[in-house]
Amino acid sequence: MRFRLMWPMALCMSVVANVGLAQTGAALGTVENGRYRNLLTNVELTVPDGWEFKGDGPSSGNGQMAMIASDSGITVYVWMRPFPVAADDIPTGLRRIMQQKPSMRPEGWRIRPASVQERSLSGHLGLSAVADYVQNGTQMVESDFWVLSGKTHVFFFGQAEADKLETLRADIETVAKSALIP
């Protein structure tokens, strides 16, 4: 049986423990006037009033992740890294990235086929989906939104109990719509 990382909790705990992030500190970016900017990718995100920037740190796949807690109590994770790709390769690249995601998630994590939507964000192609899984006997959902700009790969996601799906999706949309992606 293949080991699957219980994502993102295990990663975030590891980042905080091993990198020593302050709970509200930016180690790989800056937060000024309610706006986070990642120094590696130059991706910018707004931290809405009443929300809290929880920190940032290194992540899987040579990426970096920022964490923003909403006023609903849900944490929105934004994974990013430089990712040069030709414009013609972006649609197939997005599908391939989405198809690889189950191998990075817990056993039983499944994308709802009917939830997959082609999207755009800041003029860049994207793909969104909802996945279901069970954690400690509780039915959970993950909302995912991948964006490829040709220069940068950004992945917005969050997890919540299944009955909080609409709140989770709204929180992710709030952060995603604020993003400036080079």
**Alpha-carbon gap, residue 111 to 131, rounded angstroms:** 4
Helix/strand/coil for 29? strand
| Rounded-to-integer distance, Cα 12 and Cα 139, Å | 21
Average pLDDT, the chain: 89
- 3-50 pLDDT, tens digit per residue, is 333 444 444 433 443 333 334 577 999 999 999 999 999 999 999 999
Please give the pLDDT value at position 109. Answer: 98
Whether 90 has a pLDDT exceeding 50, the answer reads yes
- CATH 3.40.1000.10 describes domain 9-178: yes
pLDDT, position 76: 98
pLDDT tens-place string over residues 116-154: 999 999 899 999 999 999 999 999 999 999 999 999 999
Beta bridge partners of 82: 152
Asked if omega into 58 is within 30° of 0 (cis), the reply is no
Q: Are 115 and 130 in contact (CB under 8 A)?
A: yes
Amino acid found at 29: G
Query: 131 pairs with which residues across the strands?
Result: 111, 142
